[in-house]
Chains A and B, each alone.
Chain A
Amino acid sequence: MTNETSTDLPAPSPPVTPRHGAGLLLRVVPPGLYAGRAHVLVERSYLVSRRGWMSVISGFFEPLFFLFSLGYGLGQLVTTVEGPGGPVPYAVFVAPALLAASAMNGAVFEATFNLFFKFKYAKTYDAVLATPLGPVDIALGEAAWCLIRGGLYSAGFIAVMLGFGLISSPWALLALPACLLVALAFAAVGMAAATFMRSWQDFDLVQLAVMPLFLFSTTFYPLSVYPGWLQAVVQWTPLYHAIELMRALTTGYVGWGALTHVAYFAVMVVIGVVVAARRLGKLLLT
């Protein structure tokens, strides 16, 4: 209390108003939900990750361990597997699947776990919403960060695949954008799901969705292992489409069917973003 005379009031700076004319979304989304400043949330996430860079980098190793273990350990138990264009070495078969699966895992984890934590416990978003920003800024900003981070992991994994000679086609250049699309789709749906969660216990339900996808979407063995009716079921699941897309791109057997996969994820993105933004708005602005 003694040194209080040393402090002065902050000098006023020019008044701040929300940005105008910033893109289509501003005109489409109702006022109050979107201020066109989602990029600031990306800045925030970047600042946070700079302080915890170890955990960011470590996320890259998980699919790598799987690749080494499955590709080289199991590869000696199984010599070749039926790939898109005929029998391929097991590592060539499993690597693109792991690429797709890690894009899914990263996006779902980041979207559900982080969103739920910030939203329910850290109350990070309550503070954000007291500023001109709205729930759409939050949804977009968080989704963008998911993509940036996921994109880095995917790029690293693709580079490793290239180094081990697991890529045999220039189509693989499209694998990175494909990963981003897959990650965006899972992140959007994950965020939407997170808004329905009531407690940490519900994360087991996320696990219940992600785990079977990871294990049964032809990640580790070809679709032909399943009986006919089960093949039909698997062919409807999202990770199956992601894996098919990655396998096609890295082996070079790309057909028009690839567009089906792309369309599948485009639909997921739209549904996820619409539901997430609506639910966030409803939950945060009460």
Chain B
Amino acid sequence: MSTHVVGPWRAALIAVENHWTWYRRNWRATVISNFLQPVLFLLAMGVGFGSQVREGAATGGHPYLVYLAPALLVITAVQNAVFESTWVVFSAFKWQRTYLAVVSTPVTPAQVLYGQLLWIALRLAAGITVFLAIAFALGAITSPWAVLAVPFATLAGMAFSAPVVAFAATREKPDAFNAIFRFLVMPMTLFTGGFFPLSQLPGWLHPLAWLTPVWHGIELARGATFGTLGVLPALGHVAYLSALVALGVVLGRRYFRRRLAV
């Protein structure tokens, strides 16, 4: 791969630049789902529903709004990643065929993948940062350590995104994407300790929650915000999430090459 005209990182950055060029023309379509939707969620669940919740052991002694906010950062990251990792990737292979156009230049299939993932990561980080600022303005964030939630939530989002991008690269039809949303993203949003402690769910569900990137992300984000995060658990969560990203990249490289280098 080193014989190519542009190095892998440079190529990925060029891809990001191309995405940015597109985004500058089409950003309006994503503002509502990426930025506004999480804020509405925070208002409805944190403020509205939260008014019905009495502070107690279940919310770690915090008001419900404060309890919910760091978890919602992680959930937002994953929600924002879904569309970008499924339909957008699929379309670039099948409908718009932008990937096919890119690989007819010196850029390789693997570099196309890196560029796509880097772009998604940037989008997630931007969305989370904006959300964090708004949550802070609403009084949902009370600790400066919550800033750490941005990289943690982005990492959790990518731990979901990278394997899904690899999966999307194998699809000939977009049928499975709605199922991913309904059977992966929805349960991951609702049953991983974000809205209420995991301990309230039956025990047999716990191991399933532990498999999801959302649970690890929430543990990290909430732990960092409330200062309850130990070093070893933190390393464990980060290691697990990184492993998922790595798995996604390895599979993605294989599937992108199979699909594009023909």
Contact = CB atoms under 8 A, between A and B. Distances in A.
A205 B32 contact: yes
A76 B53 CA distance: 9
A76 B200 contact: yes
Contacts of B52: 78, 81, 221-222, 225
A72 interface: yes
Interface string A84-128: 000000000000000000000000000000000000000000000
Interface stretch (B161-169, B184-192, B239-247, B252-260): B184-192
A246 to B, nearest CB: 19
Q: How large is the interface on B (under 10, 10 to 19, 20 to 34, 35 or more residues)?
A: 35 or more
A77 B196 contact: yes
Contacts of A66: 186, 190
Contacts of B191: 65, 68-69, 73
Interface stretch (B15-23, B35-43, B130-138, B143-151): B35-43
B61 interface: no
B37 A65 contact: no
Contacts of A205: 32
Contacts of A216: 40, 43-44, 48
A220 interface: yes
A112 to B, nearest CB: 14
Contact of B51 (A208, A212, A215, A221): A221
B190 A200 contact: no
Interface stretch (A17-25, A35-43, A52-60, A255-263): A52-60
Nearest to B186: A65
Contact of A78 (B29, B36, B53): B53
A52 B53 CA distance: 42
A204 interface: yes
B179 A54 contact: yes
Interface in B1-33: 26, 28-33
Contacts of A212: 40
Contacts of B45: 215, 220
A77 B43 CA distance: 18
Given A72-B200, A220-B49, A204 B183 contact: no
Nearest to A208: B32
A200 B29 CA distance: 8
A3 interface: no
A219 B49 CA distance: 9
Q: How large is the interface on A (under 10, 10 to 19, 20 to 34, 35 or more residues)?
A: 35 or more
A219 B43 CA distance: 13
Residue among A66, A68, A72, A204 with the most chain B CB within 10 A?
A204
Contacts of A222: 52
B175 interface: yes
B200 A73 contact: yes
Contacts of A54: 175, 179
B208 interface: no
B226 interface: no
A61 B195 contact: no
A201 interface: yes
A77 B58 contact: yes
A216 B45 CA distance: 9
A76 B187 contact: no
A204 B48 contact: no
Interface in A1-60: 52, 54-55, 58-59
Given A52-B175, A215-B43, A77 B29 contact: no
Contacts of B51: 221, 225
Nearest to B27: A201
Contacts of A55: 175, 178-179
B183 A61 contact: yes
Given A61-B186, A66-B190, A215-B43, 16 more contacts: A55-B175, A65-B186, A68-B191, A69-B195, A73-B190, A73-B195, A74-B195, A76-B58, A77-B64, A78-B49, A204-B29, A211-B40, A215-B40, A219-B44, A221-B51, A225-B52
Interface of A: 52, 54-55, 58-59, 61-62, 65-66, 68-70, 72-74, 76-78, 81, 200-205, 207-208, 211-212, 215-216, 219-222, 225
Interface of B: 26, 28-33, 36-37, 40-41, 43-45, 48-49, 51-54, 58-59, 64, 175, 178-179, 182-183, 186-187, 190-191, 195-196, 200-201
Q: Which 10 A-B pairs have the closest CB atoms?
A: A215-B44, A201-B29, A69-B190, A73-B196, A204-B32, A78-B52, A220-B49, A77-B53, A208-B32, A221-B48
28 contacts: A58-B179, A58-B182, A61-B182, A65-B190, A65-B191, A68-B191, A69-B191, A72-B201, A73-B195, A74-B49, A78-B52, A81-B52, A201-B28, A201-B29, A203-B29, A204-B28, A204-B30, A204-B32, A204-B33, A207-B33, A211-B32, A212-B40, A215-B41, A216-B43, A216-B44, A220-B44, A220-B49, A221-B51
